[in-house]
Structure 1
Amino acid sequence: MERAPDAASEPLNVAFPNFEELVESTTSTTERRIKKAEKKMKRMGLNALQVTPLSALPLDICARFPTEMHEHIIAQLRHDRHALSACSLVSTYWSASSRYHLFQTASTIHVHRDNFQQFCELLTTQRLNIYIGHLRLKTHVIDGRFDGGATFQFNHDLHRFAGLPSLKYLRLEGHRDNLFPEFFAAFAQNFQSVTDLELISMFFDSFEQFLEIVDSLPLLCRLAVDGVLSALFPEDEGTPTSPTYSQQKKLIDVVALCNRMPDVLAWLPFQSNIRRLAISIAPWYREAHTPLLSNVFRMLGPQLEHLILHDTDTSHPLDLSANTALHTLEIIGIECLWATTQSHLEWVPALLSQLRSPVLRRLALVVHLEDHRGVDLFDWPRIAESLAQINSLAQVKISVSNHKKRAAEAIAKYLQPRSYALQVVPWERRYQYSLRSFDSEW
């Protein structure tokens, strides 16, 4: 389950091995650049002596101003990776603050088999360890498959990721082998500061291994699970009985693609502090998993403030009547294809008619629209009636994959009159989840 990029918060990847350019902050660096510029001017037939060259800043120029002023100015650039990189080269006074924002907010370090050794060498220098805030680890578990270069393995190499006190975001991706005790020991030791965890295409021997990872992070606030497999619960064994799980006291946001791991759905109701939830179930798992999802809404509904639903239909209806605290609801995966009939879309107004939240302000519908005439298949009078009963509703956004102009004209006509702002927009990306977007207005 991939998150949509957010210009204000989504980190960018930093390619290796360019860190030397980021950490160089000496006067000699500036002098070398001046000499290089002079040589270039001579090649162009210009007289470098007639041009006032850039010179290194006096060592005390930054000391003349309060440190708080420097930090405030640099903080305004916290999402601009290139500007922060330049600021880190200005002086030692700017270096620490620039690197902090560069690696805490503006960049994600992506470690894979091609740069694993370089990253480990970087850690041993202790030059950037205290700044690194976002880390993405992608593994390949078969050493012999790739000729040359090192292969990062979770089981054997995770202990080398020590000394990262500021690490907040961690993404583990692409592990399809058994996890050994060494992995869990290294994980619990090295990542205690993590608040944001993503598990993507991970394989677990049992659901207890998943719990061991989650329970070892005392500060965990956000969890994303996508493509997680459990060997003990294949799809033909049905739904297991869930035991009593421990509660993550700080866990607020959860993004879960629960197809091959229904235990996640059984675990969610015990996490009573969840306020923002994005959930998805593939069509072939709905019959077995819908009862578990209904229990999630029954237990968490009274405190859920933001909800994203992906993939639902009339044959497996959900009950949202307990979601009385919703501020935002987003329904993704409304399929309006060539073979779609009006009966296939009846679940949309049925779901909207269940809304009982007196504080619901934003509603989003994401529609895969192959033909503009598919807009007419929706029961718009019933939808308009449901929306008219929500007095707090301020914004309705309908994203369509095609025919935005024709769809906008039709939808505006169908939903008149209205007391809310209506937007019909094209998809930016298909089927993306962005819980962070709930923090800002559309």
Structure 2
Amino acid sequence: MERTPDPASEPLDAVLPNFEELVEPTTTTTERRIKKAEKKERMGLNALHVTPLFVLRRDISAKFPMEMHEHIIAQLGHDRHALSACSLVSTYWSASSRYHLFQTASMIHVHRDNFQQFCELLATQRLNIYIGRLRLETHVIDDRFDGGATFQFNHDLHRFAGLPSLKYLRLEGHHDDLFPEFFAALGQNFQSVTDLELISMFFDSLEQFLEVVESLPLLCRLLVDGSTRDEGTQTSPTYSQQKKLVDVVAICDTMPEVLAWLPFQSNIRRLAISISRWDRDAQTPLLSNVFRMLGPQLEHLILHDTDTSHPLDLSATTALHTLEIIGIECLRATTQSDLEWVPALLSQLCSPVLRRLALVVHLEDHRGVDLLDWLRIAESLARVNSLAQVPPTQELRAAGGAVGETVSIFATIV
């Protein structure tokens, strides 16, 4: 049975100067590698400490089936240091160790200072088939500094070729115009990507965003936090359905056009969404339309920064397993009438399979939580049969407490 990964652990950024320690391990070069690793450690270059404790003799390793080696290594999960060491034990352990190390335990972070070195690594063709997670910090790469290597996002992206196992791609902070060369390289080099994150990306139009998404046929998860420059454009683009897209995180503060695209993605099952506080008069109807179109198949929903004056319609979300509402403002100046939208929103819940509800509350002090009408909230939750029954007369105190076994009410001091 495979080890369950620690939910608190995240893939760490891999340090490029240490990658050569993971290339072509053999038993005959172990002593030389150890001396080289010790020298790099003294120079402050070897942060991984990937020196193996011992090396298996070739005849011993060959006695065990390859499936046994792979099963043992798979139990290491996200243990980056152990996987690095295992990759040096023998050639029999090398491939499986590299696979887990670069697919789940490490994220390669490419920026201005190591871009040229990463391209040289790609040219060796030794680790390309294992690399599964790539982060391009483009706002650092595109800037030109004296004495530093430079990477022009549009013209140099074609150099990231030969990565057949790449599943996760993060493009972070690109402020320049996107050229046709960028879209050509994206479509040619990243066809295997299933998980895409666009952080602080600037698009000339929604059509450019759609071109990025539609160039990745295997895309299953999308995080978009960007903006478009043509906010006044009235043209309506043609929307196509991403058949494999099931998980979307959309921060629509500066890119509300995404709200018009979401209803066409009928395979979405998990949705986390945030809209701008300042444009809710226009964005809330669009968001309600998203729930109306996608509601029957949504299984997990996270709402961020909902408020009292712009109520949402959740009546169509009949298949929800989990619902999380983040950003409930229970500040000292708030009155109880300002929070009536919370029980009103919960009263719309009609999913027969709802198992978990989380309310994340922002407080100045613990007295703010008393502003919520807990009696009415309890009555709303009591009628949802799939949740633990909440007695209507029970007062719910939310300083990190819980209701029954399945409904959690969280309070966060900010």
SS at match of 2:307: coil
Distance 1:163 1:252 in 2: 27
Amino acid at match of 1:161: F
Partner of 1:14: 14
Deviations 1:326-383 (A, max 9, x none): 0000000111223222122111111111101010000011111111111110000100
CA contact (8 A) 1:363 1:395 kept: no
Shift in alpha-carbon separation, 1:423–1:22, aligned structure 2, 3 A: same
SS at match of 1:368: strand
Q: 1:244-393 residue pairs with structure 2 within 5 A?
A: 244-393=238-387
Count of matched residue positions in the alignment of Structure 1 and Structure 2: 389
Q: 1:91-102 residue pairs with structure 2 within 5 A?
A: 91-102=90-101
Amino acid at match of 1:340: T
TM-score by length of 2: 0.88
CA contact (8 A) 2:360 2:411 kept: no
Shift in alpha-carbon separation, 1:34–1:166, aligned structure 2, 3 A: closer
SS at match of 1:73: helix
Amino acid at match of 2:291: F
In structure 2, stretches of 5+ residues that fail to align are: 38-52, 391-396
SS at match of 2:16: coil
Partner of 2:41: none
- Give me the CA root mean square deviation: 2.6
Partner of 1:408: 399
Shift in alpha-carbon separation, 1:56–1:218, aligned structure 2, 3 A: closer
Deviations 1:216-265 (A, max 9, x none): 11100000001x111111xxx4x846444110000000000012222210
CA contact (8 A) 2:130 2:165 kept: yes
Partner of 1:82: 81
Distance 2:399 2:314 in 1: 28
Q: 1:39-438 residue pairs with structure 2 within 5 A?
A: 56-140=55-139, 145-226=144-225, 228-233=226-231, 237=232, 240=234, 242-394=236-388, 407-408=398-399, 419-421=404-406, 423=408
Distance 1:300 1:205 in 2: 28
Distance 1:163 1:265 in 2: 35
In structure 1, stretches of 5+ residues that fail to align are: 38-53, 397-405, 413-417, 431-442
Distance apart, 1:13 and its partner CA: 1.2
Question: RCO greater where, 1 or 2, for CA within 8 Å and sep 6 or more?
Answer: 1
Distance 1:121 1:19 in 2: 11
Give aligned-pair identity as a percent: 83
Distance 1:388 1:35 in 2: 67
CA contact (8 A) 1:141 1:151 kept: no
Amino acid at match of 1:15: V
Distance 2:10 2:389 in 1: 24
